[in-house]
Structure 1
Amino acid sequence: AHMRTERSSDTLDPAQPSIDIFNDFLPLYQLFTVTIERAAGCARGMAESSKKFETGLTVKTRGMSDMEAIAEAVLEKQRGYLEARFGKLQQVAEDTEAKLGVIQADLLSLNESVGCVNVELDKIRANVESNRGKLANQETVLEMMQRKLADLEDRSRRCNVHVIGLPAGSEGNNAVQFLTKSLPKWFPTLSNMEGEIMRAHRVYSDDRKNSRGPPTLIFNTLRYTTRQLILRAAKKSPLVVDGRPVRFSPDYSGHTVKRRQAFTQAMNMARKKGVEFFLLYPATLKVKAAGKTEIFQSADDAEEFISSLPTPRTPPAAEIDDSDPGPSSVAAE
């Protein structure tokens, strides 16, 4: 449009029409020529790039083939190695499975054995429980039989008297004659003892070196009533011979003596506190305190009770009942 405007403004020369046309199309020709050259250059570049790509692709394809061959070789070696290892592992697994089978069989056998043992243990437990009850019953029966035997032995000794603290040798060669003459002198209430003393002798312990005081003199009376008269007279009038106290006590069995000795501590506590007490046959402590009377079969209970009592100013005399058992005590047993 610019060119047309310029041409319309000038005066047209009819003699130069071809030159003007050439001048008009020259820039277009030059532009077309440059475009063609550029296109040719691009085509050549693309051709060269295509050749390079084909060459690289060929090289890469050859490289991939080589890598595939190497990978196949490596995989083959690995396959052989792993197959050998897997074979060994399979053999080990088979051996282990066989051993586990043996162990499982042993465990089943052991389980059966344990079941049998449990059954036997249940039987043993039942027998033990049954025997425990029987044992407790037998212990009760044994204790009762011991007390009955002790009672029978005590009754067989009911006419015996112990003389404790009498100087050794005082009786001379004839203890029966000595006691027959001495008892009326010691206790005037015993006027006539002729024929009442049946036997008399000293009782020696196994350990004479460590024994305290002279050996005990024991004698047997003809009648139980005579023994009781002697014990009561000795209790009312304590005897002293050669400046030493002499005590008279009944003769009991070893079982009864042990039961009575268990109350020694309780009786000593009662004496210190001035509490009146009585040791009844066979082994029962009777305590009088604060206007009440308490009876104890257990030494521990007696000690606990006496320890809780206050100490009076004037202690009363204590008493020990040394009488033999009567029908009521037998019924109590």
Structure 2
Amino acid sequence: MKLASSEANLTDAIAEALSKQQISLETTVQKAIRVAMEDVKSSLIELRQEVQSQTNTVRDLISKADKIQGETRQMKKDLNMCTTEQQSLTLKIAELEDGSRRNNVRLVGLPQSREGDDPIGFLQKMLPTWIPALKKKGPIEIDRAHRVYGSGKSRTLIFRVLRYQDRQAILQGAREVMKTEPIRDQDHLLRFFADYSGFTSRRRQAFGSIQKELHALGIPNFLIYPAILHVSSGGNQHSFDSVTKAEEFLVEARNGHASGARRKLAFYGPSPSAESMEE
């Protein structure tokens, strides 16, 4: 009986000790978990604050970027407007300058000092000789005449007539003479041109190489003021105010000319050789 009672007491004691140990362990674990969770919670709070700060920074940057983009778009609009206005003003200034040169004629190729001390009298005397169509007009009234600066030995001579009709008569008469023979003065080739502003002259000169190639292909063309290339081809009339468009037309004209030459060769056959002609 006593042995059984002792065993029971021992079992109870062990159970009680284990229970106390379990409670102590649970308490220790719970405390450790609470401490760890507090650390994690604190870290999460700090991380959340950092993320919030970064988010606010990103939002500020996005807002500034949007503002900069808006300002940039407005600046581009302003720049485009200024560019358009500048181009418009440039054209107007060129038109005004061209208008002031309306009665001017540029004479290229006249030897230096050929006109002597009286360029006006010299021109009035020689113009009908160079351009016979002017003989029936009588002496052309010339307001002034002078040489312009140039690097060549014979600087261009510019003269201003009193009437626009006389200027046109000189240019048209020169073109008519040039159709049959060049205009010469003492074996020097002379050329007559209208006088334009530098801006208009550059625009017209941009078509120069295209005009030469078109003439070589037998395609009539001429420039209309201020810088519009007029072309007659295949019974059709074409006008180009852009060098790019004129170049595209020139490429088509070249291709058409080459195709026509090939068709002609195929139709007529190759030219007989000298040997076959002798046979």
Q: TM-score band, normalised by the shorter chain? A: 0.5 to 0.7
- 2:142 corresponds to: 197
Identify which of 97, 113, 116 aligns with 1:153: 97
- 1:134 corresponds to: 78
- 1:122 corresponds to: 66
Gaps of 5+ in 1: 1-93, 314-333
The within-5 A match list for 1:292-307 is 292-307=236-251
- In 2, Cα distance between the equivalents of 1:295 and 1:182? 36
Cα offset for 1:117?
Answer: 3.1
TM-score, length-scaled by structure 1:
0.57
Identify which of 167, 171, 178 aligns with 1:231: 171
Instruction: Name the amino acid aligned to 1:185.
Output: T
What SS does the corresponding residue of 2:166 show, helix, strand or coil?
Answer: helix
- The answer to whether the 8 A contact 2:146-2:158 is kept is yes
Gaps of 5+ in 2: 1-38, 262-279
- 1:171 corresponds to: 115
- 1:41 corresponds to: none
- In 1, Cα distance between the equivalents of 2:51 and 2:117? 86
Q: For 1:18-45, what per-residue CA distance to the aligned partner results, in whole angstroms no more than 9, with x for missing partners?
A: xxxxxxxxxxxxxxxxxxxxxxxxxxxx
Aligned length: 211
Calculate the aligned-residue CA RMSD, in Å.
2.7
Identify which of 193, 200, 205 aligns with 1:249: 193
- In 1, Cα distance between the equivalents of 2:90 and 2:245? 23
- The answer to whether the 8 A contact 1:265-1:303 is kept is no
Instruction: Name the amino acid aligned to 1:214.
Output: S
- In 1, Cα distance between the equivalents of 2:130 and 2:210? 31
- In 2, Cα distance between the equivalents of 1:139 and 1:265? 29
The within-5 A match list for 1:23-42 is none
The reply to whether residue 269 of structure 1 matches residue 213 of structure 2 is: yes
Structure 1 or 2, whichever has the larger Rg, is 1
- In 2, Cα distance between the equivalents of 1:260 and 1:149? 16
- The answer to whether the 8 A contact 1:269-1:307 is kept is no
Cα offset for 1:109?
Answer: 5.2
Q: For 1:130-154, what per-residue CA distance to the aligned partner results, in whole angstroms no more than 9, with x for missing partners?
A: 2223322332232222212211110
- In 1, Cα distance between the equivalents of 2:240 and 2:190? 29
